[in-house]
Structure 1
Amino acid sequence: MARNTTTIDRRTLMKLAGGVGTAGLAGLAGCSATDEGGSGDGGGGGSGPYEIGMVDAVTGSLSAFGQRNQRGKDLALAAVNEVGVNGRNLNIIVEDSGSESSGGVSAAQKLVNQDGVPFMIGAVGSGVSLSIYESVVQGTDVVQLSQNSTGLGLTDFPGLLRMSPTGRTQSTALANIIAEDGYDSVALTYVNNNYGSSLAEAFVNAWDGDIAYNNPHDQDQSSYSGVVSEMNGADADAWLFITYQAEFATMVNEIFSSGYEPQLYGADSVSGDNVIENTPEGSMDGMKIVVPSAPEEQQSYQDFVSTFESEYDESPTVWSAYAYDCVITAALSIQAAEEFTGAALGEVVRDVTRPEGEQVSSYQAAHDILADGGGPSDVDYQGVSGPIDLDENGDPVGFLQIQEVQDHSYEPIGFIES
């Protein structure tokens, strides 16, 4: 797999600096992820940049998440490299998972075995993250911090950290919302992988009503007419989908063309522009979806949104914020650790996000505490995605947003703090 490098020119730097000021953004000029000046050992020596890895869904069915991740990553590198990490830059080697477990494992093997990174961000899909951990990371000192995985199974692997909250909170919220809407019977279908099965199981455990239909479906099918027909035959007015955008868009088209009119509900992964763009207007109106969310009233998140919109001419989703916070957490861990090794980074990565320290909402402020002699427990980095507070299982505190499809667009109608 070819290395994906990140280079941001001065014109882009000035554009971003005009959005929120130079603090945190002037470092875009130092965001090149090339080897120039490196030590040849993953950035572990000399004055060259520190190098960490990132496995992302650059292509494949989860590539919409991957694109947002890359943008969040680039903005975080800007903030880090303006200030520096122990007087050095941070570079990130990005490898593509192709949205598949096999691709993720190959990408991680390259990063760990060839590039020698001690810290790896990745991946998007829960099954991909688990495969990477079990096949590549487990038994080593490498720190793995997933940017977007919400599958419940990750909690069972304390060495596998994640920035996005566990999907158990989504499943419980969906069970409560469907019951509050007056339904007592649900038809449920879920993508046939760890993400889908774990969220579906959690929903079934949280749901007090009848499960009229409960079956998985495979990814990347050209038609799901059989699933749709079976759900309709189950005679449940509420239909719940735990799947990905491409699969769900196909299902919506088949539901609409068949003239079925159920009340639709969905987990986070069915929400996205790809679904809106590839389904007829009116086909999802009234649908309710629960998605991870950032604390939108928080000033640091608003600054992040402003910068993101200035650079990319679109609003970010919380997935971009998770990727941003993964990079900041990695940089703070490097600053706080006694040496640039996986073992040393693993000792501090949780501590720099925990509430025992001084609350700070920027890399600059957190870096200054550490540079002035503070230890990792003196810092409580409050991410743009929320308070983080990684626990002993590697899970963060999270926020959830309830969305409703109105006039073929997603509108927020409420928030839940996990």
Structure 2
Amino acid sequence: MTNGTKGLSRRDVLKGTGAAGIIATAGCVDLGGSGDSGPYQIGMVDSQTGSLSAFGERNQRGRELALSAVNDVGIGGRELSISVQDSQSQQQTGVSAAQQLVNQQEVPFLIGAVGSGVSLAIYQSVVQSTDVVQLSQNSTSPQLTDYPGLLRMSPTGRTQSTALADIITEDGGESVAITWINNDYGSGIKDAFVDAYDGEVVYNSSHDQGQSSYSNVVSQMANTDADSWLFITYQPEFTTMTQEAYSSGVNEQATWYGADSVQGSDVLANTPDGSLDGMKVVVPSAALDQENYQSFASEFESEYDRSPTAWAAYAYDCVVTAALTIQAADDFTGSALGDVVRDVTRPEGETVTSFEAASEILSDGGSATDVDYQGVSGPIDFDENGDPVAYLQVLTVQDHEYESTDFVTGE
């Protein structure tokens, strides 16, 4: 590149990559990556709007930092661009977004999506019959394990469900009422929890996304007299449930627990003080003690004036993994990328903790198996099902704030 980003500050680059749609480096014209000087273009389906837009916002920040880190080094003298499409947190819209990227823009590598049902719908409807590599940034449903061709950076919810079952049992919970969102994410986490829990499940019912009221769900859970309530849903739906439980005076009837997608600052901001105190939520976590995560967190805080979440770290690692896969592959095709995407994070290679260090190995003649990229989210090590190593954090609401109270590691 002769007129890419020279003369621009890092912040200028990040601002330039933050827009929706095509994310590319200034001055590049060969968006397909078919020439020998233009950027390699990949695709990303994200939740820029809808129920999971809070995750999309976190992903955007992680994506921007990773794209800047990759393009500071380059991929064999070329840069990386990402075409981002909005799923609106819905399956059909997500499929349409993926069709735009795969069928029209012909990207060979697709990052996506947030919701498990969206990721699975994209894989089944768009990707499965092609050579395109799909790597989900945020999907946790155990059902994705049944599709080895669909990789994911965030850990399977099966470990999350087992952790929740263990925590409820350790807390003395003998009966549980479960409400779960009626999609692949909700049913997957719920089924895995029921399999792992030794107590009595006295209520087990789904609810639809985007309803204006869930008072019927709350009243039915209250009528069970269960000592534990488990919420497997999204932030907007859970916020409404909390408000209605508080207004009806039943929020202290049982100890509350939650899967990852009920947790967020918007939940705390939109629920009464004290209404969630004592609730425990199990969420995927980055390996916070790793030096490369701490460096990532420091850069993130400097750039965005806030601490990163695990979700931002997953998005960061998706971009870096894609870039390393492109550099290690024999050709910029889905078939060639698919041959090496697992290898660049495998423990057989030399442990590296940055794109720059991994890129040096590949530039010096190393192959994909010579590299073991340890992400800012932790060791990745995709298994035969496309699942990574799992790190989980237990958050407890205290004085209407989330406090980290434990860590769990699982396969």
TM range (shorter): over 0.9
| C-alpha distance in structure 1 between counterparts of 2:93 and 2:64, whole Å | 23
Within 5 Å, which residues of 2 pair with 1:99-248?
99-248=89-238
| C-alpha distance in structure 1 between counterparts of 2:220 and 2:346, whole Å | 47
- CA deviations on 1:214-246 (whole Å, 9 max, x unpaired) are 000000011100000000001101000000000
Equivalent residues of 2:114, 2:139 under 8 A apart: yes
Q: Give 1:46 deviation, angstroms.
A: 2.2
Equivalent residues of 1:224, 1:250 under 8 A apart: yes
Residue matched to 1:331: 323
User: Which of 28, 34, 44 is the equivalent residue of 1:37?
Assistant: 28
Equivalent residues of 1:15, 1:311 under 8 A apart: no
Residue matched to 2:87: 97
User: Which of 348, 352, 356 is the equivalent residue of 1:364?
Assistant: 356
| C-alpha distance in structure 2 between counterparts of 1:331 and 1:14, whole Å | 21
The one-letter code of the counterpart of 1:220 is G
Q: Give 1:398 deviation, angstroms.
A: 1.4
Number of residue-to-residue matches in the alignment: 399
Residue matched to 1:311: 303
Residue matched to 2:8: 10
Structure 1 portions without partners, runs of 5+ = 1-6, 17-26
Residue matched to 1:375: 367
Equivalent residues of 1:38, 1:47 under 8 A apart: no
Residue matched to 2:46: 56
The one-letter code of the counterpart of 1:355 is P
Q: Give 1:37 deviation, angstroms.
A: 3.0
User: Does 2:382 correspond to 1:390?
Assistant: yes
| C-alpha distance in structure 2 between counterparts of 1:349 and 1:265, whole Å | 36
- CA deviations on 1:57-109 (whole Å, 9 max, x unpaired) are 00111000001101100000111001100110000000000000011001000
Residue matched to 1:404: 396
The one-letter code of the counterpart of 1:173 is A
- CA deviations on 1:300-347 (whole Å, 9 max, x unpaired) are 101111111111111110000000000000000000000000000000
Equivalent residues of 2:114, 2:138 under 8 A apart: yes
Name the CA shift for 1:14/1:61 in 2 (closer, same or farther; >3 Å): closer
Q: Give 1:175 deviation, angstroms.
A: 0.3
3-state SS in 2 of match to 1:321: helix
- CA deviations on 1:232-282 (whole Å, 9 max, x unpaired) are 001101000000000000000111111111210000000001101110000
Residue matched to 1:20: none
3-state SS in 1 of match to 2:45: strand
Q: TM-score, normalised by structure 1?
A: 0.93
| C-alpha distance in structure 2 between counterparts of 1:410 and 1:369, whole Å | 41
| C-alpha distance in structure 1 between counterparts of 2:35 and 2:100, whole Å | 20
3-state SS in 2 of match to 1:353: coil
Q: TM-score, normalised by structure 2?
A: 0.94
Equivalent residues of 1:36, 1:48 under 8 A apart: no
| C-alpha distance in structure 2 between counterparts of 1:84 and 1:385, whole Å | 22
3-state SS in 1 of match to 2:95: helix
| C-alpha distance in structure 1 between counterparts of 2:373 and 2:76, whole Å | 18
The one-letter code of the counterpart of 2:290 is Q
